[in-house]
Amino acid sequence: MKLSGWGRYLSAESQPLFFRDTASLAQQVRGCIPLIAFGNGRSYGDSALAANHLPMQQLKRMLAFEEATGLLTCEAGVLLADIVESFLPRGWFPMITPGTKLITVGGAIASDVHGKNHHIVGCFSECLDHFLLMSADGSIKRCSRRENPELFHATCGGMGLTGVIMQASFYLKPVRSSTIEQTTIKTANLHETFAAFEEYQGQPYSVAWIDCLARGDKLGRALLMVGDFAEDGNLEYRPGGTLNVPVDFPTLTLNSFSVKAFNAVYYARAGSGVSHRRVGIDGFFYPLDAIRNWNRIYGKRGFVQYQFILPKTAGYEGLKQILQKISASGMGSFLAVLKLYGPANKNYLSFPLEGYSLALDFKMQPGLVELLAELDQLVVEYRGRVFLAKDATTGRESFEKGYPNVERFRALRRSLGLNQVFNSLQSQRLGL
């Protein structure tokens, strides 16, 4: 069958490896190479593409929950959406969640995902107690910061290249409401945007939409949204997602004119200065999940979501140069999301470091790969790196400069024979 990531730019013929239980899973792992675990297909590029894949939603049971501590144990194929739907009415919510709840728990660990609260609580691995990992020989290891710590730090952010994550135990956070008290700060340029992030960095959640095609005095203008769960209200929750994109949009639908028009309308929707309102959690955390198959908006050729991070000390100047290059290219993006991050963790390939990241969606078109290569060079120059869960084009040299622990990751893979079994198109491209 033909398989692709969410961006649909890259695809591969891939054999699904079905299994009934642990024994048959071990048999598949020992018998079919190369292979990679495949969750719900929400990583954007080629990190979950291989000649053989394990459809992980075969493991989708919730196993135990400790009401006193919020510790949930579930199989790796459970979606964050299932957790939100089951536990929000009981007053619990994922401690760390990315911008979509349509990912599996195993995918959250393999990508060590982060959310709008990284500057406060860090990556998904921070809420992990332990997980069970099937190795290349079919054996199962329990991994935590105390048990098999090297495997723990290599697996969190390791893009599925250290084995098959089978189940995990992690903490949820208590909440009192299913709504968010949101504050929106409208900024006129990049200088004001950075100043607003610093002023509101004490807020638990923060994220900014940025107009990536604005130029001159308006370069970097943005809407910064910050907030936290309301203390009052109720815990009622009804999942959204009624809209659908039934077919691929024509390629010409997205162009510099339509993106500029969209950006102008989106920027104008907020009043000047600071405004407040109460919003639902889906609107605050998962706005794109409301539109099924939204990736079809970018047409049959697909798109690349490019996300990079720069250290805080280089963030302003680096982002200024990168935004100028994007604006000059005319290859703008509807989605341009700026976030503030806290310190890096000890995981070998986790993406975040203390600074700012920008995520952009680019329609696949002539000249895009060359533009992304130029952006890679700027990212490296400013001592940053790209997010592997979004990556589809980065070269090995740029990747290695951004991830100083990559040799430790490679050495562990070699020592356990993992590099002989678990591989993806991305791992082959980056020499992992």
**Cα 352 from Cα 340, distance rounded (Å):** 10
Tens-binned pLDDT, residue by residue, of the chain (432 aa): 999 999 999 999 999 999 999 999 999 999 888 999 999 999 999 999 999 999 999 999 999 999 999 999 999 999 999 999 999 999 999 999 999 999 999 999 999 999 999 999 999 999 999 999 999 999 999 999 999 999 999 999 999 999 999 999 999 999 999 999 999 999 999 999 999 999 999 999 999 999 887 888 988 899 999 999 999 879 999 887 677 887 777 766 666 666 677 777 777 777 788 999 999 999 999 988 988 888 888 888 999 999 999 999 988 899 999 988 988 888 877 778 999 999 999 999 999 999 999 999 999 999 999 999 999 999 999 999 999 999 999 999 999 999 999 999 999 999 999 999 999 999 999 999
Pairing relationship of beta strands 243-244 and 291-292 according to DSSP bridges: parallel
Spatial contact of 289 and 240, defined as CB atoms under 8 Å apart: yes
Spatial contact of 378 and 400, defined as CB atoms under 8 Å apart: no
Which position has the token pair 């280089």? 314
Distance of alpha carbon 182 from the chain centroid:
22
- The C-alpha angle with vertex 122 and arms to 151 and 313, in degrees rounded to 5, equals 110
**Cα 46 from Cα 5, distance rounded (Å):** 6
Task: Report the SS3 class of residue 107.
Answer: helix
**Cα 131 from Cα 144, distance rounded (Å):** 7
Please, how many CA atoms are within 13 Å of residue 204, restricted to the half-sphere of its CB?
A: 14
206: its two tokens: 């923060």
Mind listing the domains of the chain with CATH numbers?
179-395 (3.40.462)
99: its two tokens: 């911008």
**Cα 93 from Cα 70, distance rounded (Å):** 9
pLDDT at 211: 87
**Cα 158 from Cα 163, distance rounded (Å):** 9
**Cα 5 from Cα 244, distance rounded (Å):** 19
Burial class for 144, CB neighbours closer than 10 Å (0-12, 13-18, 19+): middle
| Of 146, 118, 119, nearest in space to 131 by CA | 146
**Cα 380 from Cα 345, distance rounded (Å):** 20
**Cα 339 from Cα 226, distance rounded (Å):** 11
pLDDT at 327: 83
| Of 289, 284, 254, 266, nearest in space to 361 by CA | 254
Q: How far is CA 401 from CA 341, 351, 426, in A?
A: 20, 13, 16
